[in-house]
């Protein structure tokens, strides 16, 4: 059997033709973020490259959309502000909480040694240790409340920075980020979500308007610190509940309560130390992301008109190149006969 040599499929090289640019696009026309093709029909995906048009910039409206916004822009009124100063305040409060928690833990151990005749003890009466433990316990509670207030203050700025940094896919709204540290009991879980989202979404290598950060696992250090905080918040109240009102005749119960309290305060030390390290890391990651992406301040009217004129010049040059290409003919190439798409059948 014989046959004619003809293509099984239409050659894609037939599409290699210059198309004249349209310099008279109406203001507000969505432009494909990948190939720059204007969307005149209001489609969901670009007709040329298939790029999603949900975050497409608008012609003549959104100028220089790539970058971290320092002033209100197409993303809204939120602007990027460094959290370095707030991080220093938050870290200072966490360091204070760490020192007080360490002192409480050592006092519990010293009191325990004073009750045990086999262990060496300091020349301080047990009543003095009990009085200092009670006083520092009240101070520790006040410092924890202060840490929650400062944490909400720091987190509100750090979480708001993610939007002008062009991060998409945030799991919690901004109002939840502002009050998440202040809701009793729930703040133990919400603060963990906020810290994990901040650490992952501030990744300097994350692209523009990307949701890929949600597929990344949380930081291992965050999990360790959260276990320490939760364990301390459970063991410290339990130690006070296990302490008898009268120590004489209940030395064994008192020693158990002191050991539980010491373990709880040292777990709080671990949690506060890890949280302070995470605050520093998040601050450094956000600043590194700004350095990599650059800034895109909203242009003034003069800059806006200059950008439009520059865009019109580029489109006019493209139209001139298209006219020259149309006069000189179209590039055509016939694949070799051995190509799988060609043959006799």
DSSP 226-291: HHHHHHHHHHHHHHHHHS-S--TT-HHHHHHHHHHHHHHHHHHHHHHHHHHHHHHHHHHHHHHHHH
Separation between Cα atoms, residue 58 and residue 38, nearest integer Å: 9
Q: What residue spans of the chain are helical by DSSP H?
A: 84-115, 126-160, 174-179, 186-201, 220-242, 251-293, 301-328
Separation between Cα atoms, residue 63 and residue 312, nearest integer Å: 13
Residue 247 pLDDT: 67
| Tokens standing for residue 281 | 């890391």
Taking the alpha carbons at both ends of the chain, their separation in whole angstroms is 9
- Residue 302 pLDDT exceeds 70: no
Q: Which single residue is written with the structure tokens 């671990």?
A: 270
Q: What is the mean pLDDT of residues 35-61?
A: 75
Q: Under a CB-based contact definition with an 8 Å cutoff, are residues 33 and 51 in contact?
A: yes
Query: At 336, is the pLDDT very low, low, confident or very high (cuts 50, 70, 90)?
Result: very low
337 vs 135, more confident: 135
Query: At 73, is the pLDDT very low, low, confident or very high (cuts 50, 70, 90)?
Result: low
What's the DSSP call for residue 53? -
Highest mean pLDDT, choosing among 24-28, 58-62, 79-83, 327-331 = 79-83
What's the DSSP call for residue 340? T
Tell me the three state secondary structure of residue 342: strand
Of all residues in the chain, what percent are helix, strand and coil, respectively (each to 5)? 55, 5, 40
Residue 191 neighbours by CB distance under 10 Å: 22
Q: What is the mean pLDDT of the chain?
A: 77
Express each pLDDT in 309-320 by its tens digit.
666 676 676 667
Query: At 235, is the pLDDT very low, low, confident or very high (cuts 50, 70, 90)?
Result: very high
Q: Give the DSSP per-residue string, 58-88.
A: BTTT--S-SSB-SS-BTTBS------HHHHH
Residue 301 pLDDT: 41
Residue 32 pLDDT: 77
Q: Under a CB-based contact definition with an 8 Å cutoff, are residues 234 and 261 in contact?
A: no
Residue 1 pLDDT: 52
**Dihedral (Cα; 252, 258, 263, 266), 10-degree rounding:** -160
Q: Give CA angle at 109 (106, 114), nearest 5°.
A: 125
- Residue 65 pLDDT exceeds 60: no
Beta strand 6-7 pairing with 342-343: antiparallel
- Residue 342 pLDDT exceeds 70: no
Separation between Cα atoms, residue 22 and residue 312, nearest integer Å: 10
- Residue 21 pLDDT exceeds 50: no
Residue 339 neighbours by CB distance under 10 Å: 10
Query: At 124, is the pLDDT very low, low, confident or very high (cuts 50, 70, 90)?
Result: confident
pTM comes to 0.65
| Tokens standing for residue 201 | 């979404």
Separation between Cα atoms, residue 15 and residue 336, nearest integer Å: 19
| Tokens standing for residue 314 | 């580029």
154 vs 55, more confident: 154
315 vs 105, more confident: 105
Residue 229 pLDDT: 93
């Amino acid at each position: 059997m014989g046959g004619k040599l003809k293509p099984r499929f239409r050659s894609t090289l037939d599409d290699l033709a210059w198309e004249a640019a349209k310099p008279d696009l109406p203001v507000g026309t969505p432009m494909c973020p990948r190939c720059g093709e204007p969307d005149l029909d209001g489609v969901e995906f670009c007709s040329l490259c298939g790029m999603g048009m949900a975050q497409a910039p608008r012609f003549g409206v959104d100028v220089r959309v790539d970058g971290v916004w320092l002033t209100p822009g197409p993303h809204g009124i939120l602007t990027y502000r460094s959290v370095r100063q707030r991080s220093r305040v938050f870290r200072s409060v966490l360091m204070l909480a760490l020192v007080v928690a360490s002192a409480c833990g050592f006092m519990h151990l010293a009191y325990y040694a004073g009750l045990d005749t086999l262990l060496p003890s300091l020349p301080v009466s047990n009543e003095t240790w009990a009085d200092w433990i009670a006083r520092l316990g009240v101070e520790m509670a006040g410092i924890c409340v202060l840490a929650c207030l400062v944490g909400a203050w720091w987190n509100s700025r750090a979480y708001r920075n993610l939007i002008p940094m062009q991060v998409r896919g945030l799991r919690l709204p901004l109002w939840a980020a502002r009050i998440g540290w202040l809701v009793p009991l729930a703040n133990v879980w919400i603060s963990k979500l906020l810290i994990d989202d901040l650490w992952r979404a501030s990744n300097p290598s994350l692209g523009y308007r990307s949701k890929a950060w949600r597929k990344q696992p949380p930081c291992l250090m965050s999990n360790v610190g959260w276990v320490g905080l939760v364990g301390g918040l459970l063991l410290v109240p339990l130690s006070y509940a296990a302490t008898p009102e009268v120590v004489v005749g209940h030395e064994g119960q008192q020693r158990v309560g002191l050991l539980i309290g010491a373990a709880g305060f040292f777990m709080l030390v671990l949690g506060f130390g890890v949280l302070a390290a995470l605050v520093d890391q998040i601050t450094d990651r956000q600043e590194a992301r700004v350095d990599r992406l650059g800034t895109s301040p909203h242009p003034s009217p003069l800059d806006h008109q200059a950008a439009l004129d520059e865009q019109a010049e580029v489109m006019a040059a493209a139209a001139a190149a298209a006219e020259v290409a149309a006069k000189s003919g179209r590039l055509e190439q016939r694949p070799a006969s051995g190509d799988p798409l060609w043959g006799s059948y």
